[in-house]
Structure 1
């Protein structure tokens, strides 16, 4: 009986330890306004914390969440608000972005490795979706929806997703992200625009396409994007 209780205690400790380590740690202060230069030498979440006695209301304000320039190949622009341009967000675990789309503008397939995204349509009609990670059997499943003004859609953390303005007029929305540094991997840019480039042989075999098509795609994505 005693051995059984010990086993249960050990199992419970393992489970609670896993839960504790499987989530972001709670912050240890009210705020940690990020600054570029150290004032007290405290380095948290990639930036130095501002002396709390020197913090002002301005540290918690971002002004100018205005429309972005969608005059590019994709017809898309993202204006991101995160700890790098709003110091008061540091350590709070959230960020947001304004997403602007020209008619038929596209935010191409991409992932946020460290954040779930919740997208709210403020203007326009959008075809959105995400793809599941590799299942044990069968193909990856695509979840899509047509969204109108006022609709909300969630993209789970780390999964490939996209937003496409299918309307004849410009559209935009706001995305909230569950990390102050969600990360961004645009699939085509990462695969075909890396520096140095991935081997043509690797990409041709991986995508089951001809070498000349790989080279063409590398030419298209080899320069930095303008958004």
Structure 2
């Protein structure tokens, strides 16, 4: 019985180690036929071609003539089918002078942010109850990491444009922009809820909702 108990404990430990790491791909690649809610079917390998692993466009500046003064150009699996199942993606971030990439989260990915041009303030907030604000001003060539799921932002604090590359450890990191989600959701959150949550009167909440 002692030996059986030992063997069962060893088996449980082995299984926990197996499930603690990502599974290996069972094939060289799975080029996506289409991306639907994060899943897809694989293109017939015999029909796969080099263009399935290719994207052109990150040399083009994003249009920052909007209310926040920024533009993110994603290269996720939906733009580059060859990324499917590989667990990586990238995006170009353009921020006009004194523009922002508003506070947002990536629910499925950590982000590594590399500055190619300009001066940019970056920051993220740790989870409750500390809610610590980690902030840094970056220059060309600097790199900063935003841990998975945490609210973060970028702000151009220079007089020229900011260009950066954001890499993610997910083919589809997702993005939740905080202001849009809270005040501009489809089927609005009741203003009574938001008024109590933000300690504001309902007229202010109605005004904020009208902005989104």
Among residues 145, 167, 179, which one is paired with 1:154 in the alignment?
145
Report the TM-score, using the length of structure 1 for normalisation.
0.86
- Alpha-carbon distance, 1:6 to partner: 2.6
2:50 aligns with: 57
Q: Over the residues paired in the alignment, what is the CA RMSD in angstroms?
A: 2.1
- 1:1-227 superposed matches below 5 A: 2=2, 6=5, 10=9, 13-36=11-34, 46-65=39-58, 66-135=60-129, 139-221=130-212
- Alpha-carbon distance, 1:19 to partner: 4.5
Task: State the distance in 2 between where 1:150 and 1:21 align.
Answer: 37
Stretches of structure 2 lacking an aligned partner (at least 5 in a row): none
Contact 2:38–2:172 (8 Å) recurs in 1: no
CA offsets 1:89-110 (integer angstroms, 9 cap, x no match): 0000000000001001111110
Report the TM-score, using the length of structure 2 for normalisation.
0.92
Residues matched between the structures, number: 211
- Alpha-carbon distance, 1:15 to partner: 4.7
Task: State the distance in 2 between where 1:197 and 1:28 align.
Answer: 43
Task: State the distance in 1 between where 2:101 and 2:16 align.
Answer: 36
Task: State the distance in 1 between where 2:204 and 2:17 align.
Answer: 46
Q: After the TM superposition, which segments of 4 or more aligned residues of structure 1 sit over 3 Å from their partners?
A: 12-24
SS in 1 for 2:41: strand
- Alpha-carbon distance, 1:47 to partner: 1.6
Contact 1:111–1:186 (8 Å) recurs in 2: yes
CA offsets 1:148-198 (integer angstroms, 9 cap, x no match): 000000000000000111111111100000000101000110000001100
Stretches of structure 1 lacking an aligned partner (at least 5 in a row): 38-42, 222-227
